[in-house]
Structure 1
Amino acid sequence: MPEMGAQENAALVRRGYEAFIAGDMDTLRDLFAEDAVWHVGGTGVLSGDKKGRDAVLSYFGELGTRSNGSMRVTVEDVAAGDRYTVGVQFSHAERNGKTLELRQVIVFSIVDGKVTEGTEMQEDTTAVADFWS
């Protein structure tokens, strides 16, 4: 398969965001490599590496479950370079009387038209850990 260019990778990430926002797990499944890894930094209950497409999708589902469906992501920008595609998002969620509102950056690695790796970068890792605990 030919190497995807920056424009195609940005379009793929935007499609992934649209699917995530719509709760369309079938489309997300198609966009991730089977052996994809998702990195969540910090020390919270959801931190750590999610290894394999099923574990990544399960993590996405848990965000929805733990926030009682209140998780909202607004895409602010998607930028693609030679090696990485970066999504900048604003996240809002509510849980147990708490509200989480912050900017996150996700660094995507894409190979042959599939996301192989995602790394979440939080604006405030302490706030994230407190919110999901």
Structure 2
Amino acid sequence: MTCKEDGEVTDVGAAENAELVRRGYEAFIAGDLATLGTLFAEDAAWSVPGSGVLAGTKRGRAAILAYFGELGARSRGSLRVTVQDIVGGEKHTVGIHHSHAEIDGKTYDQAAVVVFVIRDGKVGEAKEFFEDPAKADAFWA
């Protein structure tokens, strides 16, 4: 939060955080893992709900990028993410999106939310929340 001389308070950090998350979504959608890598802190963590093969916490930039690659490989390139909204905050920034993929007659079609914690201009932590974690576990198996 920044105070102007007239005492007005602006959320400069919130706008910057939202822009960082927006760039991340754009890079993910484009399959640009090189750009994505620049947006994450080296020690970042990404948590995925559920109990399936992709569930759990990925620790470190390399593990997070490997997870993103696994989504592409397991969906055979069919995963499509549509951003619905990004809500920037000084402590937390939230990305709301819809995911869709189809493989072997199975369809993955869910709303999702990712809560990001931004540290020093990089994503330090992200937690995914799915509409139906059991459905996600079944699809990605």
Instruction: Give the structure-2-normalised TM-score.
Output: 0.90
Q: 1:77 aligns with which of 85, 97, 100?
A: 85
1:43 aligns with 2:51: yes
Contact 2:18 2:89 in 1 (8 A): no
| Structure having the higher Rg | 2
1:30 aligns with 2:69: no
Q: How many residues align?
A: 130
CA displacement 1:65-120 (0-9 Å, x = unmatched) = 00000000000000012310000000001122101001000000001110001100
Q: Which residue of 1 aligns with 2:124?
A: 116
Identity of aligned residues (%): 60
Root mean square deviation of aligned Cα: 0.8
Contact 2:28 2:36 in 1 (8 A): yes
1:55 aligns with 2:59: no
Q: Which residue of 2 aligns with 1:86?
A: 94
Q: Which residue of 1 aligns with 2:20?
A: 12
5+ residue gaps, structure 2, are: 1-11
Give, in angstroms, the shift of residue 125 of structure 1.
0.7
Give, in angstroms, the shift of residue 62 of structure 1.
0.3
More deviation in 93-102 or 58-67?
Answer: 93-102
Runs of 4+ in 1 over 4 A off after TM superposition: none
Which residue identity does 1:12 align to in structure 2? L
Instruction: Give the structure-1-normalised TM-score.
Output: 0.96
